[in-house]
Amino acid sequence: MIHFRKKILAAGLASAMMLSLGACGTSGDTDETQSQTAGQAAEGETAASGDGKILIAYFTAAENSGVDAVSSASYSMVNGEAVGRLQAIAEMIQENTGGDLFSIRTSVVYPADGRELIDYAAEEQDENARPELTSQIENLDQFDTIFVGYPNWWADMPMVMYSFFEEYDFSGKTIIPFNVHNGSRFSGTIETIQELEPDAEVVEDGFTINERDVPDAAGDVADWIEEIGYPCIWASTGT
């Protein structure tokens, strides 16, 4: 009988470890593959630090401008590769948390030219526009924690982020903001997110970085993930 119980306990521990590793492994999942890697969190469960499945959603103009990253005004060179700045930070967060990446896409084709983009974004803001979303989070229920990244545009989030927060109800989940800026840091966007998602816990200690520091941000991102208590098992054990 004791032997039998031990066996059950061992099996339980093994599956708990697999779940834990699954939630933490750097799977390289993208928005296309999320639905095949459904996690185990039941609907309504709230996030326990580092225990639940993590989504890393981000918007970068570089992936929404109809040109390759290197032709966009919104890229940085990271490890010799041209990537959108928010994508670069999102990937660093993924390396440290093992979360799934999700690129927020819109039918709007943003100007690749920096000056044109500045004017275009100002118009969108004046019109209080809601750009149409063309990428969808599948099985939102499986995620307890949503890292959400966006650039600072005109001391606010890009309007597509309003489309995003109006599309999804993150009640009971933890939202962790991160952004890239050119001096204004978050402006008032963390408060705005809390207003848009009143029943989510919005972490105020988000990660914010100047655009010129993005290529060298890996260490700061890792430190921040540690501070807020989300390092995955690979990152914390070095395995």
Ligand X SMILES: Cc1cc2nc3c(=O)[nH]c(=O)nc-3n(C[C@H](O)[C@H](O)[C@H](O)COP(=O)(O)O)c2cc1C
Contacts with ligand X, residue ranges (CB under 6 A): 60-62, 74, 84-86, 117-118, 121, 151-155, 180-184, 211
Residue 125 Cβ vs ligand X, minimum distance, rounded to whole Å: 9
Is the CB of 16 or the CB of 122 nearer to ligand X? 122
Compute the least distance from the CB of residue 44 to ligand X, in Å: 34
Q: Which is nearer to ligand X, 60 or 174 (CB)?
A: 60
Smallest separation (angstroms) from ligand X to the CB of 209:
9
Q: Whose CA is closest to 145, among 212, 201, 83, 65? A: 201
* Contact (Cβ atoms closer than 8 angstroms) between residue 176 and residue 147: yes
Cβ-based nearer residue to ligand X, 126 or 199: 126
Closer of 138 and 211 to ligand X (Cβ):
211
Q: Cβ–Cβ contacts within 10 Å for residue 233, how many?
A: 16
The CA distance from 174 to 190, in Å, is: 13
8 A C-beta contact, residue 113 and residue 73? yes
β-bridge mates for residue 201, sequence order: 174
Closer residue to ligand X, CB minimum distance, 88 or 232: 88
Q: Report, in Å, the least distance between residue 88 CB and ligand X.
A: 8
Q: Least distance in Å: CB of 33 to ligand X?
A: 23
Shorter beta-carbon distance to ligand X: residue 62 or 235 = 62
We find the least distance from the C-beta atom of residue 184 to ligand X, in angstroms, to be 3
